[in-house]
Amino acid sequence: MPATTSLRAAYAKQVLHRDIMSRFLSRNPDHHPSKGLPEPPKATPVDRDVRSDRICIVGAGTCGLYLAMMLKYLGFTNVDILEANDNVGGRCFTWPKTENPQNGQVDHFYYDVGAMRIPPLPWMAGTISFIQNTLKLQTPPYYYDNPTGPVPVSYWYKNIAINDGAFDALMSSLASEFLQADANFDKAFQDWLTAIPDPTYRNASTAPLIFRDNYSTRAWLMNKVTPTVWTYSDTAKAELYDTSTGLFDQSLTETVIDYADFKNESVKDQKWLRVEGGMQLVPETIANLLASSSWPPPPNGPEPPASWNVQLKTPVTGYSFDPTSGVVSVTSSAGTKAYDMVFNTTAMGPLQRMDLSGLNLPNNILDGIRSLSYDRATKVAIKFTEAWWTTKYNIVGGVSSSDLPISNVVYPSWTDNDGTTPAVLMVSYSWAQDATRMGSMVADYTVPGVVRTRDDPLVTLCLNDLVQLFKYSTPALTFQELYDMVVPDSKSDEFGPYHAWAWSHDPWTGGAFALFGPGQFQNVYGQFQTLFCKDESATPECHFAMAGEALSAHHAWICGAFDSAYTTLCTWLGAVGADNLVNNLKASEFGDGAGQHVQEWDDKLFGWVAHLSGREEAQETKKLVVGTAKPQEA
């Protein structure tokens, strides 16, 4: 497999390789594993131009829109894009919506409710290039740390930061193979996926074998760390130091990869980025290009290019598949329509609510849709009459962390406020259980008569926590001082005194972002890297696929949505023998840039994905014989 700079992509390839090898061997018992995975059979090109196929994309978040943009670039002509919400973007959501500044100054009276920052990791390079060079959006620095000095923290009602050297040492030991400058990620993750003797047994030769990916971070710390397992108190302190309450219930693999990624010396001193005007400009700019009759310019696409518009407020309620005709019927609020290929790009929550019975999906896929773990996230932003954090404390960017209900205060990364105009501060950003508790305070503002006022209990809680956070700062803050700086209630101000959002309450997402639980990377990820709904024709094809950040190795990041759209489209194009279109896509500005597939892609692995797609559904028994096993080892 080609080398990669992405830990997640390297691990995903090992997981996918293991999954495909298992499926291949079940069909070819005479092939010995030591021979490795052979090259996949070459797909026979279909006898039509697939660019005329009837295509439906369900979901107009960043994944669905990026997929549509690639289809338009390749010259597809018959594509519908359905979106349940009244706007595009999904979890790229900025409040209130802004206009593209186009190299001009933007008023910073907004905050990013969803995605808000892009780290300078190597596997983000393609996403950054796409946003900067294709979408032409401005990406000024996002200050993850306040450049002017430390910001206040609060733990156990003291302004003392938590330092957990024991946790750092443990994570460093687990991630040591990945943190080395010359690390072979593929080999390291191959070892990580291999069962190891239980480290708590003195004699490794008699110890039972265990898989690290099957453990949560909490279970590993409290049961498998040697020479002494961690106490509950040790584990709780480490969780508070490293993340939010409850996130040690995630997969140990997630914790180790995150640690290795963000401890990478090559990215420590680089600048994080944001999108000027808010991250929602990314999907909105893509939607504008789809609607444009001048993009893409020739030679790609028809001349002049068609104008594609997203059908908003069109929730899909169910799918059905006719294997005889090879047609997937999509039922939405607009009626039922037949398509040759359907790409579902919604989050798993909305997908689970659809009627999927007519697709005949395998049980393990239905289980994955139901059980794939999503994290919760809640944000609260208050509009003050001035940027007091800058005028009083010289804070520009950075994050104040705490064990208070507000969890984290995120300071804006701009310096254009002189203290005479209002400014927005994200007074609370929380995840996991912390987000559940803050989310319980967020009212449903879609209910008639419910309005946001500065006397709401949520505002009172946040202001009190800010007082505690700045208790030991000079000057100290008082509740009344902060309250007086909250902008008054006004029907003419779209932002109002504050805005709050709990992503677990959002019906179109059902969660903030995917965060795999124990065993899910190893057992769920690979199963979704396939195509479904195989027809009964003489040259059968698949007609349904799922994509989205949750199904990418880079889940929880915007690049995960892009990567999943890319790999899913390339898999389908490869399955119908449209290698010329795959090559055109690779040469384009999509993926990791001209001449580069995304790091998650591997020609051999996804060639096998395309070849094996749909076979479990059809219960195919025909065996492809490749190679001969050694009789004594078979």
Three-class secondary structure of residue 41 per DSSP: coil
Task: For the chain, report the end-to-end CA distance as a whole number of angstroms.
Answer: 25
d(CA 244, CA 27): 45
Averaged pLDDT, 304-331: 96
Of 8 and 139, the structure prediction assigns the larger pLDDT to 139
Of 476 and 182, the structure prediction assigns the larger pLDDT to 476
- Each residue of 403-448: pLDDT tens digit? 999 999 999 999 777 777 899 999 999 999 999 999 999 988 778 8
Averaged pLDDT, 168-188: 73
Residue 302, pLDDT score = 57
Residue 626, pLDDT score = 43
Residue 529, pLDDT score = 96
CA atoms within 13 A on the CB side of 258: 17
Given a contact cutoff of 8 angstroms between Cβ atoms, the answer to whether 4 and 185 are in contact is yes
Distances (CA, A) of 79 to 64, 74, 452, 533, 617: 12, 12, 40, 19, 26
* Number of helices followed by number of strands (H, E) in the chain: 23, 22
Rounded percentage of the chain residues whose pLDDT exceeds 70: 91
Residue 225, pLDDT score = 80
Pick from 192-206, 423-437, 590-604, 605-619 the range whose average pLDDT is largest.
423-437
| Residue 109 tokens, joined | 């009276």
Given a contact cutoff of 8 angstroms between Cβ atoms, the answer to whether 425 and 379 are in contact is no
- Each residue of 62-114: pLDDT tens digit? 999 999 999 999 999 999 999 999 999 999 999 998 877 766 667 899 999 99
Identity of the residue numbered 272: W
pLDDT above 90 for 616: no
Averaged pLDDT, 317-329: 98
Of the candidates 505, 375, 393, the residue with the CA atom closest to the CA atom of residue 152: 393
* Cis upstream peptide for 350 (omega within 30°): no
- 601-629 burial by CB neighbour count: b if 16+ within 10 A, else e? bbebbbbbbbbbbbbbbeeeeeeeeeeeb
Given a contact cutoff of 8 angstroms between Cβ atoms, the answer to whether 543 and 561 are in contact is no
- 50-89 burial by CB neighbour count: b if 16+ within 10 A, else e? bbebbbbbbbbbbbbbbbbbbbbbbbbbebbbbbbbebbb
Averaged pLDDT, 366-384: 97
Q: How confident is the model at residue 184 (pLDDT cuts 50, 70, 90)?
A: low
Given a contact cutoff of 8 angstroms between Cβ atoms, the answer to whether 9 and 123 are in contact is yes
Residue 262, pLDDT score = 72
Averaged pLDDT, 529-533: 96
d(CA 381, CA 459): 9
Residue 388, pLDDT score = 96
Residue 193, pLDDT score = 73
pLDDT above 70 for 621: no
Averaged pLDDT, 510-514: 95
Averaged pLDDT, 186-207: 76
Averaged pLDDT, 279-304: 87
Number of C-beta neighbours around residue 543 at 10 A:
25
* Cis upstream peptide for 302 (omega within 30°): no
- Each residue of 476-494: pLDDT tens digit? 999 999 999 999 987 667 8
- Each residue of 338-358: pLDDT tens digit? 999 999 999 999 999 999 999
Averaged pLDDT, 208-235: 88
pLDDT above 50 for 619: no
Of the candidates 530, 542, 528, 537, the residue with the CA atom closest to the CA atom of residue 321: 542
Question: What DSSP letter does each residue of 213-246 carry, written as one string?
Answer: GGSBHHHHHHHT-SSSPPPHHHHHHHHHHHS-TT
Q: What is the pTM of this model?
A: 0.93
Residue 628, pLDDT score = 40
Residue 106, pLDDT score = 75
371: left (phi over 0), alpha (psi -120 to 50) or beta: alpha
The size of the chain, in residues, is 634
Residue 618, pLDDT score = 44
pLDDT above 60 for 506: yes
- Each residue of 443-478: pLDDT tens digit? 887 788 788 999 999 999 999 999 999 999 999 999
The mean pLDDT value of the chain amounts to: 89
Residue 500, pLDDT score = 97
CA atoms within 13 A on the CB side of 56: 24
Rounded percentage of the chain residues whose pLDDT exceeds 90: 69
d(CA 482, CA 471): 13
Residue 107, pLDDT score = 83
Of 105 and 33, the structure prediction assigns the larger pLDDT to 33
- Each residue of 102-154: pLDDT tens digit? 666 678 999 999 999 999 888 899 999 999 999 999 999 999 899 999 999 99
Three-class secondary structure of residue 299 per DSSP: coil
Residue 448, pLDDT score = 80
Of 489 and 190, the structure prediction assigns the larger pLDDT to 489
Sign of CA dihedral 551, 555, 558, 559: negative
